[in-house]
Structure 1
Amino acid sequence: MKAVVMTTAGEPEVLQWQDVSEPQIEQPNQVLIQLKAAGINPIDTKIRSRGTFYPDQMPAILGCDGAGIVKAVGSEVKNFKPGDEVYFCGGGLGKQGTGNYAELAVVAEHFLATKPKSLSFAEAAAAPLVLITAWEALYDRARLEAGQKVLIHAGAGGVGHVAIQLAKLKGAEVYTTVSSPDKARLVRQLGADEPILYQQTNFVETVLKLTNGTGVDIAFDTVGGQTFFDTVNAVKVYGDLVTILEPNYSLGTLKVARNRNLRISLELMLTPMLSGLIEAQQHQAEILQQCATWIDQEKLKIHLHQTFPLQEAAKAHKMLENGSITGKIALII
């Protein structure tokens, strides 16, 4: 089969279009999928530039997110059959025999969910990682409830644009930071109550003004760096701050967060995959199944910025690393 293979760590050019052996079902719970599209996420570009989680198993096929058609199933697979359309987040971290920048993939059944019928394969492939990340951050870590006020950073980005919608589905009031009027219009269309143009105004001051000086119940940091520490000042006493990035303590301290009794949560949706936690992987598939229902009910949208043919994965990586895109990028297979 054809695949885009990472031959070594480095610039996008290390992604090479090659012929590779077809993956085979080796366990009774595995499913062979004819991939139609693969999502691209920042984790892909980080792995490509820094090296995979399994450096002794190079070369590697990247891509955690995929969507396609079931081609064959193992003897113990219960919920899927050949011909079913599926989407999932599984593999692509450098482990041999995994990855979705390819024509075929073998994935354990418990990663899979039925593809939303109303989405193209490209839209579906763009969705899993960001949906799971936003769901776990807001629903599982922060325990979002109706009526709460939420600040979501980078609301027009991949994670941010679905986080806004998941927060609104729970009945929250949503404020979100964006960099331009165009992105402000997009996030309003997605349900945000108050876009904050952070390059023109201090987001902490704006949030405090919007909340009569108390701060938000929950802040979701998808940016990291100094933004994480600045955000502490926008969260109310006994509030929640969730981040998807590791805090850099050379940029600040958590003294104010401690004084406010904030609950600080770290969200990494890759943990179940990296640690082999089957029940957590099943929970993530259940998240995708519920999101598929909401998507088909037109309660949740996936914003696909652009697609590239699979063989142009390097170009897609360059676009993502250049920044300023809205929503997601996907590869057409």
Structure 2
Amino acid sequence: MKGIVVKGDQLNPRLVWEAVPDLVFGSDEILVDVWATAVNRADLLQATGGYPPPAGASEILGLEMAGVVAEVGEDVEEWQVGDRVCALLPGGGYAEQVAVPAGMLIRLPDSWSFAMGTAVPEVWYTAYVNLFLEGDLVAGETVLIHAGASGVGTAAIQLANAADATVFITAGSAEKLLACRKLGAELTINYKQDDFLEKVLAATHGQGVDLILDPVGGGYLDRNVRALGRYGRLVNIGLLGGTHGEMNMGLVLGKRLRIIGSTLRSRPPAEKVKITEQFQSGFWPLLRDGELEPIIDTIFPIEQAQEAHSYVAQNKNIGKVILTIREGADARPEVV
């Protein structure tokens, strides 16, 4: 089979589509012909040596995929060859085939393209886990979502709205702010022009928000703490702004805040299966029925993975950037 191989050095990685070893899959796993995968920030970090895969995971990039079941492990009963599926992965999505534990698969709706399917697992699970399982968001609360126009951000806006929460976001352009408002964000803040702390405090009459979802870290830490209200929660899911920051510990104690660090990729397989099950019984029906929508910005063929990474690195995207591996992956099937 073919897959993306990272060549060159860490400063100038080259993503090359070439032959890689065929896969061996276990008795409780499914071998899937991958039709589409997607670009995530973790892929960019891994390509530059900054985010190695978990022990035992594929060295090939790619944290999600959509495709067709090619072979079924002997202990698997619920899936058949030909089923259309999508799944979260610890790695390996940038390839023609991937081996997936059966419990990680979700069946694609009949009317969905593979591109739509692969736009869900990584960012929607990330948003779901960190808004609700880590952040304890409930109806009536207010959440601030940094990088609101990202894949995770566009999913988080919709999930928070579906839970009857009020959404504030930050983003870096008028186009991105508009897109977030269309998805349901009540307050949109251009972080390049305005101080989000001032805007948040003004909008909440000095009370602050209940939850912050932050992929930035670094220099945002102190302002995040100041932007939280009493009993607020800060869930940090990334370090785009650096690994170090300062904050007023007195505010953490005085407001009884919680600061939570969270990643998805490094969680054990059994936990990911549980998350998949929880998501399927919770918000997946809203996606399946069209009440929520995976947001796709741009679609590249897998041979242009290098260009796709550059596009994401430049923060051009609103929603997901998709890589198609087989022709027709972006076409919706005809439903009879």
TM-score normalized by the length of structure 2: 0.89
Distance 1:192 1:283, change over 3 A: same
- The AA in structure 1 aligned to 2:212 is A
- The AA in structure 2 aligned to 1:172 is A
Question: Would you say 1:252 and 2:246 are equivalent positions?
Answer: yes
1:317 Cα shift? 1.2
The gaps in structure 1 that reach 5 residues or longer are: 93-98
Match in the other structure for 2:42: 43
Distance 1:312 1:56, change over 3 A: same
Where 1:14 maps in the other structure, the secondary structure is strand
Where 1:271 maps in the other structure, the secondary structure is coil
1:287 Cα shift? 4.4
Match in the other structure for 1:77: 76
- The AA in structure 2 aligned to 1:49 is T
**CA offset digits 1:145-175 (Å, max 9, x no partner):** 1111111111111111100111111110111
Where 1:137 maps in the other structure, the secondary structure is helix
After the TM superposition, which of the residue ranges 80-89 and 284-293 deviates more from structure 2?
Answer: 284-293
Match in the other structure for 2:117: 124
- The AA in structure 1 aligned to 2:199 is T
Match in the other structure for 2:318: 326
Contact 2:220 2:245 (8 Å CA) reproduced: no
Match in the other structure for 1:156: 149
Counterparts of 1:284-295 in structure 2 under 5 Å?
284-289=275-280, 290-295=282-287
Distance 1:162 1:249, change over 3 A: closer
Match in the other structure for 2:330: none
Q: Distance in 1 between matches of 2:215 and 2:121?
A: 16
Calculate percent identity across the aligned residue pairs.
33
Match in the other structure for 1:95: none
Contact 1:133 1:267 (8 Å CA) reproduced: no
In the comparison of the two structures, how many residue pairs are matched?
A: 322
Distance 1:316 1:250, change over 3 A: closer
Contact 2:225 2:247 (8 Å CA) reproduced: no
Distance 1:144 1:64, change over 3 A: same
Match in the other structure for 1:144: 137
Where 2:17 maps in the other structure, the secondary structure is strand
- The AA in structure 1 aligned to 2:64 is D
**CA offset digits 1:240-260 (Å, max 9, x no partner):** 111102596743135132332
TM-score normalized by the length of structure 1: 0.90
After the TM superposition, which of the residue ranges 284-293 and 108-117 deviates more from structure 2?
Answer: 284-293
Alignment equivalent of 1:237, drawn from 195, 210, 230: 230
Where 2:75 maps in the other structure, the secondary structure is coil
After the TM superposition, which of the residue ranges 228-237 and 252-261 deviates more from structure 2?
Answer: 252-261
Contact 2:143 2:165 (8 Å CA) reproduced: yes
After the TM superposition, which of the residue ranges 135-144 and 253-262 deviates more from structure 2?
Answer: 253-262
Match in the other structure for 1:169: 162
Match in the other structure for 1:86: 85
Q: Distance in 1 between matches of 2:154 and 2:302?
A: 24
Match in the other structure for 1:194: 187
